[in-house]
Amino acid sequence: MGEVTDYIADREEPARSVLERYRLQTMTVVPEAEQGKGYGMAALRYRGRPLVSVVSTRQGYSVFPFSADVVASVVAGLDGFDSTKGGIRFTDQRHLPDQAFEALVARRRDEIDAALARPRRG
């Protein structure tokens, strides 16, 4: 297995099912994503960079796209979700909508692609 699937397997229900759902959704948007870590969290990575991490907490869940710009762009279209500069929180009673999650993953993928396409200064 890998970091993400191991993390999911260690959770109890309903967290296990919720996290697996978002893992599969990520893989649909970015099939090339690989398991790894990002800032110490189990994360899916793309082109060697952290793409997204979804974690369970006592209060619910948090999704981290490793980009304040991506969080801000997605939160702008959501109503009633708590967020920080780095992530968006949700609960079992109110999941992050599929469309918002997929937009978050796609925007982070596009951000990584753009960063890697820029010529390096040397």
Q: Does 119 score more than 90 pLDDT?
A: no
Confidence of residue 122 (pLDDT cuts 50, 70, 90): low
pTM: 0.93
Asked if residue 122 is part of any domain, the answer here is: no
Asked if residue 121 is part of any domain, the answer here is: no
Asked if residue 82 is part of any domain, the answer here is: yes
Count: domains in the chain: 1
DSSP, residue by residue, the chain: --HHHHHHHTSPTTHHHHHHHHHHHHHHH-TT-EEEEETTEEEEEETTEEEEEEEEETTEEEEE-S-HHHHHHHHTT-SS--B-SS-EEE-SSSPPPHHHHHHHHHHHHHHHHHHHHSPPP-
State the pLDDT at residue 20: 97
Asked if residue 119 is part of any domain, the answer here is: no
The CATH number linked to 81 is: 3.90.1150.200
Asked if residue 118 is part of any domain, the answer here is: no
State the residue range of the domain holding 51. Answer: 3-113
How large is the average pLDDT for residues 14-37? 97
**Span 44-71, pLDDT tens digits:** 999 999 999 999 998 899 999 999 999 9
